[in-house]
Amino acid sequence: MRILITLFLMTLWQSLLADSSVYEVEVLIFSQSAGGSEQAPGFPGTPDMGKAGPLERKGVSLLPGDQLAGVRKRLDQSGTYQVMRHLSWRQSLANGTVPQPFKVTYPEQGDSAGGKRLMGTLSLGRSSYAILKVDLLLQQDGQSYRMEETRRMKRGELHYLDHPKMGVIATIQPVD
């Protein structure tokens, strides 16, 4: 009987370990100055910031952001794009994790930088795949543009979320 209980507990422990993984996530959020002539259709609403907290919280640790450094450099040098946020963090995600949004703003504090303001949320959850939810509002030149998108993130792939006035480049890597 004792052997059966031990085997059951070992099997349960292994399944719990398989359902929980640690990931490194890196995200670039940028505006596009050559984003076409799309007009904002009235006011697109605002992201729900009520339940959003800071990125730095229990179970999340900030990282320096090395994976997308080359992409950021090319965006900065292009003259067409302005990187507003470059975020990188490590997060534990159990299978079935409900995404907990965190706040994203630009500039981080104070008034708008160059007439641009960004506010919104990012969140990461997990089912069979990691799931990135983006809800961003960009205000520039007296117009407001909103990007709301949910993306299944395959490990190790570079993902591009597109909008005529802004973009998000994201990657997620499992940590061994």
pLDDT single digits (tens) 29-66: 999 886 555 555 667 788 888 888 888 877 788 898 88
**pLDDT-based confidence at residue 159 (cuts at 50, 70, 90):** very high
* Number of residues that make up the chain: 176
pLDDT computed for residue 37 by the predictor: 56
CA distance 143 to 4: 66
Contact 9, 157 (CB under 8 A): no
Q: Which two tokens stand for residue 70?
A: 């080359």
Whole-angstrom CA distances from 31 to 14, 61, 123, 163 are 44, 26, 20, 9
Listed ranges 9-13, 99-103, 117-121; the one with the highest mean pLDDT: 117-121
Contact 167, 30 (CB under 8 A): yes
Listed ranges 5-19, 102-116, 129-143; the one with the highest mean pLDDT: 129-143
pLDDT computed for residue 46 by the predictor: 83
Tell me the per-residue pLDDT of 64-118, one tens digit each, with 9 for 90 and over. Answer: 888 899 999 999 999 999 999 999 999 888 777 777 899 999 986 656 556 789 9
CA distance 7 to 12: 9
Q: How much is the pTM?
A: 0.81
